[in-house]
């Protein structure tokens, strides 16, 4: 199985997180794709460039696109010793709370950076 992780290379928090997780021993092949300036490539894959800024997206080799906590859950479920956390953060209720918090923090960051377009997350 292969997964393409779309990350915001213009985001210092994202880059710091990426440095921590990029070279981990995932049980699937993970390709990291910086979305900065890649609007056409995102659209060709059916991913909204603005939504890709607002939420982590993963494109699975079967064509499934995961977003937000489902993306984080996917990565954690494919990382030895972290599967339990991947399951936990995608449980109903927990996923919604984490998604709400993540969206609020991301919205604030994008507004501060002048990159927020006002879409509803």
Q: Which residue matches tokens 């440095």?
A: 19
Class of domain 2-113: alpha beta
**Residue 46 pLDDT:** 93
Q: What stretch of H or E contains 56?
A: none
Tell whether the model's pLDDT for residue 24 goes beyond 70: yes
Q: How far apart are the C-alpha atoms of 65 and 69, rounded to whole Å?
A: 12
Query: What is the token pair recorded at 54?
Result: 């607002």
Domain extents in the chain = 2-113
Q: What is the mean pLDDT of the chain?
A: 94
With CA atoms as reference, report the closest residue to 14 among 23, 26, 6: 6
**For residues 38 and 53, is the Cβ–Cβ distance under 8 A?**
no
Global pTM exceeds 0.85? yes
Span 57-98, pLDDT tens digits: 999 999 999 999 999 999 999 999 999 999 999 999 999 999
């Amino acid at each position: 199985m292969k997964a393409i992780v779309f990350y915001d290379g213009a985001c210092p928090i994202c880059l710091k997180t990426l440095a921590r997780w990029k070279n981990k021993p995932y049980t699937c092949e993970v390709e990291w794709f910086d979305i900065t300036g890649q609007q056409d490539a995102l659209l060709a894959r059916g991913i909204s460039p603005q939504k890709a800024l607002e939420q982590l997206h993963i494109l699975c080799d079967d064509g499934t696109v995961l977003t937000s906590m489902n993306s984080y859950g996917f990565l954690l479920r494919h990382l030895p010793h972290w599967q339990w956390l991947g399951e936990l953060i995608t449980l109903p209720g927990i996923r919604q709370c984490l998604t709400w918090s993540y969206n609020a923090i991301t919205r604030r960051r994008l507004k501060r950076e002048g990159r927020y377009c006002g879409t509803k997350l």
